[in-house]
Amino acid sequence: MSSSEDDEEEVRVPLSQRQEWSDVEPIPQDDGPDPVVSIAYTDEFRETMDYFRAVFAADERSTRALELTAEVIDLNAGNYTVWHFRRLILESLQSDLQEEIKFIELVANKATYKNYQIWHHRRWVAEKLGTIATTSELQFTQKVLCLDAKNYHAWSHRQWALQALGGWENELEYCRELLEVDIFNNSAWNQRYFVITKSPFLGGLQAMRDSEVSFCTNAITKNPDNESPWRYLRGLYKGNNEAFVNDPAISKVCICVLEKNRNCVFALSLLLDLLCYGFQPTPDLNRILSTWGFSGSDQKYANFVCLILEKVDPMRARYWIWRRDSLPSHIC
């Protein structure tokens, strides 16, 4: 703790000794006559909450009440009731919400970026501010994601901000930058898919498919054991299995990966999907499967791929057995 913080603690005056609170009768917490487990609150926390209960009971929406909520939040940033009451006061006082944004950032820096109440309150403020908050919200989430690339609250807030406030123009490039830093960042892959399917400027999934397939297969070729681009690639054909089967880039990347690593579960799994949706086997596929002893004379391709997956993916062997048993009779 810095010396300045020490000084602040030393000079803090209890609420009971502040002139502006002399007219308020604090309301102690009622734990009943014989509480099973008494919580050892600090004197500061107990007093602050006693005064807050009094203000809350009186529904006092004043400047001092707003300042008191800040003191309570400083002691416990997860108190839903305090945040809720703070919003009521902010509305009643018609407070400067740009200043409230600064307050939220101070609280988040001191508490945690995984506090749901902070994010909920920030969304409320941003909604009130409207599009003038677009830049601040995207910058704030970017700051948090630099510290924690998988922070669910930050990603959720960012997606909400894009849809409610705008700012789509540079989002695909932002996703690319994140994946350049960490190609295994599944949250960035998820955000990229969100952008190409939700952005009002990109034309939708079909319009973006060719360029995204190229981006995705390039990532797969460099890191075949990274599950995220394999999932992303499959998602690019959601609801259009005919396009999935007929795109030569899909079978090509499977064969390319399997030629170097015939045990790649992700390539085999995607190959199985292709076969189940009517992909016609090629000489390259026959050559790959022949290394596993596939003859093609009395065996079905999809069935054989399931047998391979049972061996190379023993943790999910029962799943692949189920897939094999569920194959329609007409599947090659």
**Burial label, 53 (beta-carbon count in 10 A; 0-12, 13-18, 19+):** middle
Q: Which residue has better confidence, 12 or 54?
A: 54
**47, two tokens:** 């007093």
**Burial label, 48 (beta-carbon count in 10 A; 0-12, 13-18, 19+):** buried
The rounded mean pLDDT for the chain is 92
38: left (phi over 0), alpha (psi -120 to 50) or beta: beta
> How far, in Å, are 79, 81, 229 from residue 25 at the CA level?
22, 20, 61
In this prediction, residue 1 carries a pLDDT of 45
Q: pLDDT tier at 12 (50, 70, 90 boundaries)?
A: confident
CB count within 10 Å of CB 156 equals: 13
**Burial label, 44 (beta-carbon count in 10 A; 0-12, 13-18, 19+):** middle
Q: Which amino acids are annotated catalytic?
A: 114
Q: What is the pTM of this model?
A: 0.88
Q: pLDDT tier at 295 (50, 70, 90 boundaries)?
A: confident
In this prediction, residue 129 carries a pLDDT of 97
- Residues contacting residue 319 through CB under 8 Å, at least 6 positions apart: none
- Segment among 55-64, 90-99, 275-284, 287-296 with least mean pLDDT: 287-296
pLDDT digits (tens, 9 = 90+) for 186-211: 999 999 999 999 999 999 999 999 99
Q: Where are the beta strands (DSSP E) in the chain?
A: none
203: left (phi over 0), alpha (psi -120 to 50) or beta: left
DSSP letters of 268-297?
HHHHHHHHHTTPPP-HHHHHHHHTTT--SS
* 10 pLDDT above the threshold of 80: no
Please give, one letter per residue, the 3-state secondary structure of 130-153.
Answer: HHHHHHHHHHHHHHHHHHCCCCHH
- Segment among 18-32, 227-241, 260-274 with least mean pLDDT: 18-32
Q: pLDDT tier at 298 (50, 70, 90 boundaries)?
A: low
278: left (phi over 0), alpha (psi -120 to 50) or beta: left
Average pLDDT over residues 224-237: 96
The number of helix segments (H) and strand segments (E) in the chain equals 18, 0
* 2 pLDDT above the threshold of 80: no
* 260 pLDDT above the threshold of 90: yes
Where in the chain are the domains?
A: 240-332
Contact 224, 266 (CB under 8 A): yes
- What is the C-alpha to C-alpha distance for residues 93 and 74, in angstroms, rounded to an integer? 21
In this prediction, residue 305 carries a pLDDT of 96
Tell the residue number behind the tokens 């994601």, with chain if given. Answer: 145
**Backbone phi, then psi, for 243, in 5-degree steps?**
-65, -35
